[in-house]
Amino acid sequence: MKQSFIYRVCALFLFFWAVSAHADSFSADLSDLLNSVQSMRASFTQTTYDNQGKVTQKSYGQMAMQRPGKFRWEVTKPIPQLIIANQSKLWIYDPDLEQVTIRSLSKTTGETPALLLSHDNLGLEKDFTVKSIQRGSPEWRWFSLIPKKKSDNMFESIQMGFVKKQIREMRLQDNLGHTTVVQFQKIQMNVSLASSLFTFKPSSKVDVIDETHKK
């Protein structure tokens, strides 16, 4: 469950930072905001609520992304976990289990169809209905994204909030009515990032589960 959720979040980031802008103005506006970011580093707070609004999980960590297709999502507490995507492969490392799972991004589109969309020639409007919405104070600019194709493993809706062209918050609702809010702090955009952030080399003590050869 936890792996699946973070995997889907990773897929969304890989998609959102690879789209191109055309068609309706809201899609173009959102694409312009995302396409202005070549790299990003931030800390995050991730809170999950059930369909009654009760907090069921809260975690903290750091993330980094770099075009094209590089992504790092590191949960530091309460339970450490590291997700690294580097264009073709995804590593999911659980330190407490001393286990890493390797997946092929290109072979898992059934679970996360957004992975198909991490190419520059595809647009948001192809797979999402994008609208501008009002939420919070006037300095915020919010977009609502509703997937055009429904999937059991896809989010029902996504909201993205920006302040001064920086993404500050994402709100993701699944098909059970659970909402996950990801808030970003200490944001750095278009900065130089070490290539080592997007590589993973397991030690000899780590159990490696390689799923890249699965059909």
Q: Count CB atoms within 10 A of the CB of residue 173.
A: 16
Work out the burial of residue 21: count CB atoms within 10 Å of its CB; fewer than 13 is exposed, 13-18 middle, 19 or more buried: middle
- The structural domains of the chain, ordered by start, are 2-210 (2.50.20.10)
User: In this predicted structure, what is the pLDDT of residue 212?
Assistant: 84
What pLDDT, in 10s, does the model give residues 180-212?
899 999 999 999 999 999 999 999 999 999 988
Q: Measuring CA to CA, which residue among 131, 85, 56, 97 is closest to residue 208?
A: 97
User: Residue type for 176, please?
Assistant: L
Contacts of 32 by beta carbon, 8 Å cutoff, 6+ apart: 21
User: In this predicted structure, what is the pLDDT of residue 28?
Assistant: 80
Contacts of 134 by beta carbon, 8 Å cutoff, 6+ apart: 142
> d(Cα 46, Cα 195) in Å, to the nearest integer?
25
User: In this predicted structure, what is the pLDDT of residue 108?
Assistant: 42
User: In this predicted structure, what is the pLDDT of residue 126?
Assistant: 75
- Residues (pLDDT < 70) of the chain are 1-24, 106-124, 151-154, 215
Distance of CA 172 to CAs 6, 78, 103, 139, 215, Å? 12, 21, 23, 21, 29
Residue 102 · residue 212 · CB < 8 Å: yes
User: In this predicted structure, what is the pLDDT of residue 99?
Assistant: 96
> What pTM was computed for the model?
0.82
Residues in the chain: 215
Residue 202 · residue 100 · CB < 8 Å: yes
User: In this predicted structure, what is the pLDDT of residue 209?
Assistant: 95
Q: What is the DSSP string of 38-84?
A: SEEEEEEEEEEE-TTS-EEEEEEEEEEEETTTEEEEEEEESS-EEEE
Tokens describing residue 205 = 């003590």
Residue 172 · residue 180 · CB < 8 Å: yes
The HSE-up count of residue 82 (CA atoms within 13 Å, CB side) is 16
Residue with tokens 């590089």: 70
> d(Cα 92, Cα 200) in Å, to the nearest integer?
10
User: In this predicted structure, what is the pLDDT of residue 26?
Assistant: 78
